[in-house]
Structure 1
C-alpha cells in the first residue's frame, strides 16, 4: 500500500493496447517507427487537447510519465531560464511553494535540484491563498508552486474556482514565477458526481499572465501505468520554449506508443467510459477502508481521515506524534505504507500526524484486512 499503483484488474482493462496497432502510419502520413515528431503525433496532441480543453497547438505529447516532463521543466528553467528571463540557477536562492500534505515526488525533484521548499497548508478549497499571495508578493526568490488541483494527493481536495482565479491573478515579486499544474487525476472519479476544476490556462490568460501555468497530464492511471503517454499543455510561448530545449534532449518520442493509445482511447467519451470501469473496481476498496476506519476509529479523539470523491489516496490524520509509530507497528503486522512524513517536503511532517493510505493495488479482501490492521496499529500507538 506504499504507492498508488493500479491493480492488475485495472491494467487488464487496457489490454487491447496489444492489438491497437494494425498499422504504423499516423494521420498525417508520419511513419511512427522513425525519428522525428518532437511535439508528438498530431492525433495524440488533438486527443490530449480535447481531454484538457486546450487547442492541440498548445499541447506537447512526450515521454511515458508526466513526472519526467515536470523534472525537465525544472531543469530547463534552472539552466536556461523561462522565456525572456535569466536562468534560475543564476538567481539563487530558488524557492518553491508546496501545498501540504502533498506529492512526495514533487518534493523530491526540488530537493534533488537544490530548490528550497516552503509548506503551504491545504484547506477544503485548495491551498491557503492568503498565505500564498503574501509570500509571492514579498519574495522574488519564489519562482514556482506545485499544484495538484483535482483530487489532490493525498487529501483529495478539488481547487475551488476562486482559488484558481487568485492563483492566476496574484501579484508576484518574481516576474518568472510558474505554476506547475499536475492534473494527474482529472478523470479519476470515485463517486458518481464528476467534480470539475476551472481551467488554469484560461484563468491565467484572462488575468494577463498567459505564461504563468504549465499543465501536466498522462494516461498512466488510465491505460498502463508503466507504459503510458504523457502530455504538457501551456501558452504558445511556453510551448516554443519547451520544444527548443526538448529538441536537444531527444530526436523524438515513442510515437508507436502514442499511436496505439490514440487508437485505444479515441476521445473524451471513450476515456470517460473506461474510467467508469476503473471507478467500479476502485470504489469498493475505498469504501472498505472507510468502513474499517469508521468502525474502529470513529469515536477516537484526534483521529480523522478524508473521504475523497476521486483520486487514489486517503489521508489518515492521527493525534500529533503518532504517525511514525503507527506506520512502524503496521509494518510489524505485514502492512507496507508510505513512510510517515512523505507528504511533506524533506520528509518532515512537523506534527507527525499524516499517513497516506493507497487502497488501489491490493485485493478487496486484502485491503479490508489491511485497513483493520492500520486502525489497530494506531489504537496501539495511542495506548502506548
Structure 2
C-alpha cells in the first residue's frame, strides 16, 4: 500500500488521521532524546565495581610495575595482553592509553599534518590539499576531525559488505588521498560489518600516496546484540601480508563497556607506526593513567570476563533495538516510504526516509518534544545530498521512552512524506 500509489481520496483520509496523530503527539509535551549513542544508567551500573578498584595497597602489577608512578607510555602489560586477545592482534602491536580513542585519532591526524608519517615525503600540512575518504552514512565524530583540519572529504557509498571497493580503488589513484575512515564492525550508523574479502582488499589495494592511512576504528567490535560473537579480523596481518604494514591505524576502547567517560583506549599498528607515535606522544605526556588500566584488569580478569560484561550490555540493549524495529515495521512498513537497517550489534539504526524529507522529519519531531540527530549528520559537513538519512540511537532512554519516542518518529516520517507528495 505505497503512499505514492494511493488515490487522492485515500491519501486525503490518511493525511487527516496522521495530522491528528501529530497534534495529539504535540499535546503530550514530551521531552525525549534519541540523539547520541550513550550507555544508559543501567549499562553504566554493570561496571559499578570498577569504581572501587584496584583498591588500597593493590598498586603493583604481576609484571612488577607500580601503577601509581609516572612512565610506561605503552600502558601496562596486563591490559595490553587482555585487549590484544580480544582484537586479534599481537600484544607487541598494542598500546594502552587514556580513556578516549577519539583523542588518539585526533593526535594521529594532527601529527601527520605537522610532521608527516613514517612514509610521508613531506608533512600533510605542506600538501596543496589533503583528501580523505568517508564511507557514508558514517560516524559524525570522525568527520569532525578531518573537517577541523580542512581536509577535502570524499563520500564513499557503503554496501552490505563494507565500503564500495570499486569507488575506493578509483579514488586511490589520486596521490592527494591520504586517508580513510572506517568502522569495520557494527558500523556507525548502519551496523554493517566488513567481510574478510573487503578487509583484505583494503589492505592490498594500490594507493598512489605512499603514506595512505586507514583508521580502522573497532569502536563497536565487542558490542553484539545477539549470542553470536563475530571474529575481529586480524587486519594488521592482512596488511603485512599485502606489503602495506603501515597502512592501518587500529582503534579500540572500553568506553561503552565500562564507564564511558573513564575507560581505556587502545591503539594498534605496525612497529614502525608505534615508534613514530611514541616519538611524539612522549613529548605530549609522560604516561597514561595506569591506575585505571590496572583497575580494568582487576575488573575483567580475562577475555571471558569481558564477554560476560558484554552479555549484560546486550540484555539491556537488545529489547530497545527490537522495539525500534517493531514500531518502524508496524507503523511504516506497509507504506513503502522508508527503509532501515536491522543491526545485530553496535549502537545505532540507520533510517532512510523519503528523499528530501529527513530535515523536515527532524523539525517535526523537535516541535513535538523528540530530539533526533540532525539530518545529514552521518555525512561529511552534515550534507546528505538526498536529505533522507537519520541516525537513531536507542541506547540511553528507558525502554518505555524508546517505544513512545519511535511511535512519535513514525508519525513524523509519515507526515513529512505526505507533505512532500502533496506539495
On whether the aligned pair clears a TM of 0.5, the verdict is yes
Do residues 181 (structure 1) and 208 (structure 2) align? no
Structure 1 unaligned residues grouped into runs of 5+: none
Deviation at 1:19, TM superposition (A): 2.2
Q: Which residue matches 1:77? A: 112
Could you say what secondary structure the match of 1:122 adopts? strand
Q: Which residue matches 2:145? A: 109
Structure 2 unaligned residues grouped into runs of 5+: 1-33
Deviation at 1:302, TM superposition (A): 3.2
Q: Which residue matches 1:55? A: 90
Could you say what secondary structure the match of 1:336 adopts? strand
Q: 1:287 aligns with which of 319, 322, 326?
A: 322
Q: 1:230 aligns with which of 247, 250, 265?
A: 265
Q: 1:19 aligns with which of 25, 35, 52?
A: 52
Deviation at 1:282, TM superposition (A): 0.4
Is the contact between residue 204 and residue 211 of structure 1 (CA under 8 Å) also seen in structure 2? yes
Structure number with greater Rg is 2
Q: Which residue matches 1:162? A: 197
Is the contact between residue 174 and residue 209 of structure 2 (CA under 8 Å) also seen in structure 1? yes
Q: Which residue matches 1:90? A: 126
Q: 1:133 aligns with which of 166, 169, 173?
A: 169
Q: Which residue matches 2:295? A: 260
Is the contact between residue 140 and residue 378 of structure 2 (CA under 8 Å) also seen in structure 1? yes
Do residues 300 (structure 1) and 335 (structure 2) align? yes
Is the contact between residue 119 and residue 210 of structure 2 (CA under 8 Å) also seen in structure 1? no
Taking structure 1 as reference, are residues 195 and 300 closer, same or farther at Cα in structure 2, changes over 3 Å only?
farther
Task: Give the distance between the partners of 1:255 and 1:92, measured in 2 at CA.
Answer: 41
Moved more, 372-381 or 295-304: 295-304
Residue by residue over 1:157-202, the C-alpha shift from the partner in whole angstroms, topping out at 9 and shown as x without a partner, is 0101110011000000000000100001111001222233522111
Residue by residue over 1:75-124, the C-alpha shift from the partner in whole angstroms, topping out at 9 and shown as x without a partner, is 11111111142211112310110000000010000011111100000000
Q: 2:310 aligns with which of 275, 280, 303?
A: 275
Task: Give the distance between the partners of 2:167 and 2:226, measured in 1 at CA.
Answer: 31
Task: Give the distance between the partners of 2:230 and 2:115, measured in 1 at CA.
Answer: 37
Task: Give the distance between the partners of 1:61 and 1:46, measured in 2 at CA.
Answer: 10
Do residues 311 (structure 1) and 354 (structure 2) align? no
Residue by residue over 1:302-341, the C-alpha shift from the partner in whole angstroms, topping out at 9 and shown as x without a partner, is 3110000100000010011110100111111111111000
Is the contact between residue 161 and residue 197 of structure 1 (CA under 8 Å) also seen in structure 2? no
Map 1:188-267; keep pairs closer than 5 Å.
188-267=223-302
Do residues 3 (structure 1) and 36 (structure 2) align? yes
Is the contact between residue 88 and residue 232 of structure 2 (CA under 8 Å) also seen in structure 1? no
Task: Count residues with an aligned counterpart.
Answer: 383
Task: Give the distance between the partners of 1:29 and 1:199, measured in 2 at CA.
Answer: 30
Normalising by structure 1, what TM-score?
0.98
Structure 1 runs of 4+ aligned residues shifted over 6 Å read none
Task: Give the distance between the partners of 1:106 and 1:339, measured in 2 at CA.
Answer: 16
Deviation at 1:44, TM superposition (A): 1.6
Could you say what secondary structure the match of 1:299 adopts? helix
Is the contact between residue 27 and residue 42 of structure 1 (CA under 8 Å) also seen in structure 2? no
Moved more, 320-329 or 25-34: 25-34
Task: Give the distance between the partners of 1:231 and 1:369, measured in 2 at CA.
Answer: 37
Task: Give the distance between the partners of 1:372 and 1:286, measured in 2 at CA.
Answer: 14
